[in-house]
Structure 1
């Protein structure tokens, strides 16, 4: 029996009302009794030649309407699994070719260097001759990077490339190669000068070693230039960062004393009003934030603190009018347990994993909080990766 596809599941398959799954089906498609997909109004032609093989995207067959609904459904489904419900706003989607940060693989294969994302469910590399998610600046560096890497890639070994757009240009960290001697040094200099590289670092297994950095590399956050460690974490797109910062500022309101937990380089801490405590376990990140805040004369206390092993206690939390937290994908259960026993009136939770967010939110809601609103953000366009900012209050 033919059935319509009614939604897209968490891993990207289309699902009918009876529970039949079909890969690369969009809501409004028809799944026939022979499992053929008849395209409906929300099924678009994927713009990239490498879809669906390339692991960089899973949902290029969805138009923006269906993709936005997928983002909402991912969050609503995670909440429902914890017995929760909340107002979910329309998602803010980053446009194509806006990803300013990416991790790619490189290897020598059949006499040429391949650079790209791994294939879906495979270790094979898709050698990118086009990409509809990377910024044009990041994509443009891949061709000359193949030439640079050719002498360094050993047979059977891969390099991992971390590319980020910084204030001064592209920050490039190469892991898994050795580039020693005069020829390598001259090649690095020529490559960096010709391609707008702000910094090039190589990690042969003992940590990043900067090989090119004519001026200190920074990333501007909240109007403040912050020293950026090699391979540092940033929000994936400028549009996604702006959407999350706006949601956090709205959630914080006019609170005068705030904490930003899992603060990183200060994406939110440097955009918040009033007095700010910033807690972060990564030493390089918190030292960069501390230096930047001091130079900008911001009222900010940067604390090197592992919030998994040593979360703020409920008594420490009570000092703040609002607490912002942006934990890794695993969530912040240890910190949330302390928040649940606190008297903090407002919590703004930024998450890159709806499931761990819903688990943590359920703890807070049992303790007397409610979810005022959730702002979804789709900055990993056409992927199943969903982010959000949520406001919770007592």
Structure 2
């Protein structure tokens, strides 16, 4: 039986929060604050049945697959209110760690800018399906459109499915990572069956129409008509097959500009969790940079980028697992600035070492505001002052937000006002 609910707020994943008549908290997807809705309740989850009184901030979603596809949660919210909520996610994450700080307005990102897509491939009784997982399901939705993706990817869904058609057997699933580069699509297929000679020849022919620059299957290169390049003169980045890459070019530029400004006017610079060199090479236009990364293939991509980029200072690379073996204070001593951009788990061990150092400036970048706030607390307690926090909406219409935070060394023993959450 459906129950009438009033949505009071949104949770950190974008689901509406309400209380039942008995006082139980429930989460109802695709609702907005202030709305009155009816929902079928199962445990803490509510399935939206109808909207009795819609929010004035409700808008038509941009995609026909919204509410079915598991990729987006908030296409139905007016941009101004949506961006304000994203900013509040960051404010709340830092407040939970007792950090009261000004947070900049969200740097927005437009639709059709996602240059990296990870598709699921599954073969049913009829054909191969290329798409994304349905919401709260392992079933694959065959997408007909995606307003997140750049047209170079969105308009070639059928081409991409045809490429994988030979290698996904009945009842099997695989993953396809597609990156739109300046020289074509870089396609990496993982989890399919091992290709034979006939497959190599067929895939090679299919990938030579000019739209695909490289095709790899489980790390083995099948064809490369052109080297994948991400050009930002005088810098060129060379992505690794299926490897990490900032999801959109505009958000990458915003973050790189923020990092570059935060580093200031003194080097050398240490870039931790450097990846393929997103921040390394921009900083290397002004300073020598040591780039430290745990994945060998990302460093190989950075090495190529370093050799083909122009007008940069010396870049030194070092492979190191910074989770198990963080850079210690004596190793940090030569640097005037440190940048760290870890995975979602954050950089707790490295932050503890940085907090004991005397590096003048530190810049943290993270796709997880909660772990960045935890690391910020460590740095502040070690004597650093948080000077700026900027959210960047790299993950449009989702509950995720990228954040750039800047720290300056203050006198040891300095304090930061803690806030009490109500």
TM-score range, shorter chain: over 0.9
CA spacing shift, 1:30–1:372, aligned 2, 3 Å: farther
Alignment of 1:125-164 (within 5 A): 125-164=140-179
What is the root-mean-square deviation of aligned Cα atoms in Å? Answer: 2.3
The alignment of Structure 1 onto Structure 2 pairs a total of residues equal to 390
Alignment of 1:1-394 (within 5 A): 5=7, 7-15=9-17, 21-30=27-36, 37=51, 38-178=53-193, 180-194=195-209, 196-203=211-218, 208-220=219-231, 223-272=234-283, 273-295=286-308, 296=310, 298-394=313-409
Is contact 2:10–2:32 with CA below 8 Å preserved after alignment?
Answer: yes
Q: Which runs of 5 or more residues in structure 2 are unaligned?
A: 41-47, 410-422
Higher mean Cα deviation, 146-155 or 275-284? 146-155
1:186-218: CA deviation from partner (whole Å, max 9, x where unpaired): 321332122510100111xxxx10011023333
Moved more, 312-321 or 168-177: 312-321
User: How far apart are the structure 1 equivalents of 2:393 and 2:76?
Assistant: 16
What is the CA distance between 1:233 and its match in structure 2?
A: 1.3
SS of residue in 1 equivalent to 2:203: helix
Structure 2 CA distance, aligned partners of 1:15 and 1:85?
25
SS at 2:142's partner residue? coil
How far apart in 1 are the matches of 2:217 and 2:228?
Answer: 16
With 244-253 and 177-186 compared, the bigger mean Cα shift is at 177-186
Could you tell which deviates more after superposition, 284-293 or 134-143?
A: 284-293
- Other structure's SS at 1:25 match: coil
Residues 278-336 of structure 1: per-residue CA shift (max 9 Å, x gap): 11111121133234324445321111121112211112222211111000100001110
Secondary structure (helix, strand or coil) at the match of 2:208 reads helix
The alpha-carbon deviation at position 228 of structure 1 amounts to 2.8
User: Deviation of residue 227 (structure 1)?
Assistant: 3.3
* TM-score for the superposition, normalised by structure 1: 0.92
How far apart are the structure 2 equivalents of 1:24 and 1:258? Answer: 44
Moved over 6 A (4+): 1-4, 17-20, 32-35
2:5 and 2:68 map into 1 onto residues whose CA distance is 27
Instruction: Classify 1:123/1:3 alpha carbon distance in 2 versus 1 (closer, same or farther; 3 Å).
Output: closer
CA contact (8 A) 1:4 1:29 kept: yes
SS of aligned partner of 2:170: coil
Name structure 1 gaps, 5 residues minimum. none
Secondary structure at 1:193's aligned position in 2?
A: coil
Find the aligned partners of 2:38 and 2:190 in 1 and give their Cα distance.
47
Cα offsets for 1:11-66 (capped at 9, x unmatched):
21123699664321223434579985421221111121111111111111112112
Name 2:416's counterpart in structure 1.
none
Closer/same/farther in 2, CA of residues 334 and 176 from structure 1, 3 Å limit:
same
CA distance 1:257–1:182, shift in 2 (3 Å): closer
Partners of 2:208 and 2:225 within 8 A in 1: no
CA contact (8 A) 1:103 1:163 kept: yes
Give the stretch that moved more between structures: 283-292 or 169-178. Answer: 283-292
Please state how far the C-alpha of 1:370 moved relative to its aligned partner. Answer: 2.1
Deviations 1:121-178 (A, max 9, x none): 1100110111111111111221122233333221221010010012311000011223
Q: Is the 8 A contact 1:141 1:195 kept in 2?
A: no
State the 1:377 CA deviation: 0.8
TM superposition shift of 1:223: 3.1
Question: TM-score when scaled to structure 2?
Answer: 0.86
